[in-house]
Amino acid sequence: MPDVLQKNPENTAAAPAAAAPEKARSLWGDAVATLLRSPVFLISGLLILLLLTVAFWPGLFTSMSPYDCDLAHSRQGSAPGHPFGFDVQGCDVYARTLYGAKASVEVGVFVTAGVFLLGGLLGMLAGFFGGWWDSLLSRITDIFFGIPIVLGGLVILSVIKANTVWPVIGFMIAFGWPPIARVARGSVITVKQQDFVQAAKALGAGNGRIMLRHIVPNAVAPVIVVSTIALGTYISLEATLSFLGVGLQPPTVSWGQDISTAAAQYRNAPHMLLWPAGALSLTVLSFIMLGEAVRGALDPKQR
Amino acid sequence: MPEPILQVRDLVKHFPLTQGILFQKQVGAVRAVDGVSFDLYPGETLGIVGESGCGKSTVAKLLMRLETPTSGQILYKGEDISKLSGRALKAVRRNIQMVFQDPYTSLNPRMTVGDIIGEPFDIHPEVAPKGSRRAKVQELLDVVGLNPEYINRYPHQFSGGQRQRIGIARGLALRPEIIICDEPVSALDVSVQAQVVNLMERLQGEFGLSYVFIAHDLSVVRHISDRVGVMYLGRMAELGTDTEIYDHPTHPYTQALLSAVPVPDPEAREGRERILLQGDVPSPADPPSGCRFRTRCWKAVERCATETPVLAVPKRFAGTGEGAAHLSACHFAEEKDVVHTAA
Amino acid sequence: MTDTDKTPLLEVRDLHVEFHTRDGVVKAVNGVNYSVDSGETLAVLGESGSGKSVTAQAVMGILDMPPGKIPQGEILYRGKDMLTMSAEERRKLRGAKIAMIFQDALSSLNPVLTVGYQLGEMFRVHRGMSKKDAKAKSVELMDRVRIPAAKARVDDYPHQFSGGMRQRIMIAMALALEPDLIIADEPTTALDVTVQAQVMDLLAELQRESHMGLILITHDLGVVADVADKIAVMYAGRIVEQAPVHDIYKRPAHPYTRGLLDSIPRLDQKGQELYAIKGLPPNLLHIPAGCAFNPRCPMATDLCRTDVPVLADAGAGRRSACHHWKEQLDA
């Protein structure tokens, strides 16, 4: 075997198809370029940016505190300096709507991150190793699919009550991972059968390399899409649980609790319901739109 | 004759058919490969042909140890690699590599060409010191006829033929002695196919490679192979040099297969006999008893159903030195030239 | 002979098809002319990206528009331009007068309906037959395409048939309404050689029987040699050579055809190194100026790099789009 490779005499295929200048374009790069051209992404992205700013720096938008309440103003409509009016306790609805964003965003982001990691990991292991481990995981996800999540929340969260967001986040991760795991498993199985994975095996690559270098980068896209779309539903689930009284507890400000108290007063003070419910809907919609835009960019077949 | 570099003995692969949700029980097996034996000599090309479902691709996977054989031996330089695992298997992989059929799915779309061709060096760091890898990758690109400046591009920026060259470069990186080629040109256009076939032949000479060349295109296999094996339903029907198989076939299946190949020359095909086979290939989950081909064979008699023909030189040709004196698994092996026009 | 007899069954005139994509305009078909008569087989030969299938889809009226667009050209069925017809008129031709057979029979059949039902549907929908009559017709058709035990298998589902049998069912479906013209797009590419031969034979025989026109689209020079009357070779969306089948194999009049013929290995002899056409097929976003084949052509001159050669008469019923066809013929 010659030790120095000979220079190829007729570099036949080296002649480019057309002399079109072409740069290295990764699939991720293409996806980002597609996203930046998508109006749905730009609109939802802007809304989410605004939401994040409100969630982390509500003080930028109001000098009032959500706890600064005066019963004398109870259920009053909009007044100078208080554009959204007051709630039952006489607190400023504008301030409460702004401060309520924090809980929603926290729950949404942490639950999504949690289910993405937990569901993604379990789904990937099941898809990759198969066998009894896969059967076990599939049956567990079936069990979770059988439990209505709101009912589960009512039972479990009424037992563990705490005044932080963490029990709610923990519960939602525990019940939210199965669908993500299912998507991850399917995606990993598809990628696992492709020839480039076989090629890596044939080169002697170990399981770790095969998973991290070959399977995860190619299988992660659908999991990202499903998680992003789910983020909106987690926010509305938190609101639902808070509305039912088992989610976030005072003094945490949340849209769900405010919607709950406002619902009883809907006839004589509709503004109390309008603002938190509107903010919630817009937030959920933004995340679902974002998810759709990401899907469009990561899955070119849909285009 | 030199010592064979690879000896395959009675190779068997059965894929179990199972039923059940949590606790699965076996209800049968697909006999994808059912007792295949052959040798591969240094520097030669052994072609394996057959129609879909004959088990030729499974043989490739078994030789690569991407699947573990149910039974049988694969001897690489006398050492049985069919049961190796871990470090010992990894060491063998340096010497046996593979080129895949589909240039679109065999390259990781998220990796650059440099990373794809350089991956063998990451896995076997002893082959190339870290600093020299980029240069090695560029050398490999040049060897397979690609511009070394393309190192940072992604697979989707290349055409099918170029991608196949990338796959070949990856297979070549560890300087293996054997390359298993599973339909390496069947996904390519005719004009590009010729380029890749020529490239593979050039590389074989340059690096002293042995090829196992698996394909369904009989013309390409004849062109590139020194010896050819014909598979049918998990077994080898006939095995010999390219001239023996193509000009002096003795197994009825080989004859039918060869006669069916369309020849791009209207004059050459006039006067050629066409053997049209009846029916379809039986299911490998429930293959016929005795000779596997008997259900479609015009020569089949009762003996074919009861007695399995062994792959051997037919007695009446043995020692004659004629073209028909090669391995054939038929009770009624008889020479018949179906490729050439009767003059 | 009256005037109407001279009108070809199908004539494609100066057809152009382009696709508008993010990266630019892909010029898939750039002025294709061909015609087929009843009882005649035209083979359209080309590699991937040559525009052979896109032309057929345009004829069939199944091109996705957008992104596809037909900026120019005529497709005349018995002298009537199908591109200017109403959608309704066009739909009536499809299936009844012009039928198509695809490469992948499995995905062209509905997996949850029996083949008898799917065959019978043609008669129920187009001919208003009763269920019973339609089924009888289905069995008859399956017999015609030589599916063994047709009567017993009419109620089977597509997955219960082998690849070759499924392709026969597709052929039966195409034949159902007795069309004048069948377009077969790589009908045997997905099949094994032994089955390929059976299906090609069947197709040729049925065509002779019913005197249909047949357009056979393929990349396989071998398949074409067996059945075609004339061949059109396509490259980069144009026909580069058109000739009766025997002539093209003996003495091609275009260097691309020559190159293709030389680059396939022979079954009946062990060859030397294969001739390989150098370079790559053109990028349809940037088709080279002049003759599209010039960067890969061994005979290319300055003329080829500037002037597009037209498909012109090269004697004895053959046409070539090469500036140097005379030299190629004599080579």
Residues of C whose CB is below 8 A from B267? 246, 249-250
Give residue B321's region: left, alpha or beta (phi > 0; psi -120 to 50).
left
Give residue C237's region: left, alpha or beta (phi > 0; psi -120 to 50).
left
pLDDT in tens, A74-102: 777 777 777 777 777 777 778 888 888 88
B237 part of contact set with chain A, CB < 8 Å: no
Q: How many CA atoms lie within 13 A of B191 on its CB side?
A: 25
| Integer Cα distance of C23 and A25 in angstroms | 13
pLDDT in tens, B300-311: 899 999 999 999
Q: Phi first, then psi: what are they for A111, rounded to 5°? A: -65, -45
Any idea which residue has 């009053």 for tokens? A76
Confidence of residue A303 (pLDDT cuts 50, 70, 90): very low
CB-CB: which of A8, A135, A218 is closest to B145?
Answer: A8
Confidence of residue B214 (pLDDT cuts 50, 70, 90): very high
Q: Is the CB of A13 less than 8 angstroms away from the CB of C279?
A: yes
- What pLDDT sits at residue A22? 55
- Whether the per-residue pLDDT at A3 is higher than 60: the answer is no
Whether ipTM tops 0.90, in short, is no
- What pLDDT sits at residue A23? 63
Structure tokens at B164: 């196949």
Residues of C whose CB is below 8 A from B261? 193, 222, 267
| Integer Cα distance of A259 and C31 in angstroms | 66
Percent of chain C with pLDDT over 90: 7
- Integer distance in angstroms from the first to the last C-alpha of chain A? 49
The residues that bridge with C19 in the sheet, in sequence order, are C26, C68
Q: Is the CB of A204 less than 8 angstroms away from the CB of B123?
A: yes
Q: Is the CB of C267 less than 8 angstroms away from the CB of B267?
A: no
CB B327: neighbour CB atoms within 10 A? Answer: 22
Domains, chain B, ranges and CATH?
226-343 (3.40.50.300)
Q: Is the CB of B246 less than 8 angstroms away from the CB of C268?
A: yes
CB-CB: which of C225, C260, C267 is closest to B339?
Answer: C267
pTM of the full structure: 0.84
Confidence of residue B271 (pLDDT cuts 50, 70, 90): low
Please report, for chain A, the start and end positions of each structural domain, with discontinuous segments joined by +. 37-62+81-302
Picking from A73-87, A95-109, C88-102, C210-224, which range would have the lowest pLDDT averaged per residue?
A73-87
Mean pLDDT of B24-32: 81
Q: Is the CB of B93 less than 8 angstroms away from the CB of A204?
A: yes
- Whether the per-residue pLDDT at A1 is higher than 50: the answer is no
Structure tokens at A22: 């072409």
Q: Phi first, then psi: what are they for A260, rounded to 5°? A: -60, -50
Mean pLDDT of chain C: 85
Q: Is the CB of C276 less than 8 angstroms away from the CB of B190?
A: no
DSSP letter at A18 equals S
- Whether the per-residue pLDDT at A9 is higher than 50: the answer is no
B89 part of contact set with chain A, CB < 8 Å: yes
pLDDT in tens, C3-49: 445 788 889 989 999 888 877 888 889 889 888 988 889 999 988 88
Neighbours, chain B (3 or more CB pairs < 8 A):
A, C
Q: Is the CB of B264 less than 8 angstroms away from the CB of C225?
A: yes
CB-CB: which of A10, A13, A18 is closest to C282?
Answer: A18
Distance from CA of B35 to the nearest CA of A (A): 23
C87 part of contact set with chain A, CB < 8 Å: no
| Integer Cα distance of C233 and C252 in angstroms | 10
- Whether the per-residue pLDDT at C105 is higher than 50: the answer is yes
pLDDT in tens, A23-60: 667 778 888 888 888 888 899 899 989 988 888 888 77
Architecture of domain A37-62+81-302: Orthogonal Bundle (1.10)
Q: Is the CB of B274 less than 8 angstroms away from the CB of C197?
A: yes
- Whether the per-residue pLDDT at A16 is higher than 50: the answer is no
- What pLDDT sits at residue B1? 66
Residues of A whose CB is below 8 A from C278? 10, 12, 15
Q: Which of C21, C280, C297 to mutate to test the interface with A (most CBs of A within 10 A)?
A: C280
pLDDT in tens, B244-256: 999 999 999 999 9
Say if residues B218 and B194 touch (Cβ distance below 8 Å). no
Residue in C with minimal Cα distance to A10: C278
Residue in A with minimal Cα distance to C280: A17
Any idea which residue has 């999504």 for tokens? A112
Structure tokens at A55: 């969630």
A199 part of contact set with chain B, CB < 8 Å: yes
A3 part of contact set with chain B, CB < 8 Å: no
C295 part of contact set with chain A, CB < 8 Å: yes
Say if residues B280 and C163 touch (Cβ distance below 8 Å). no
Helix H or strand E encompassing C297: none
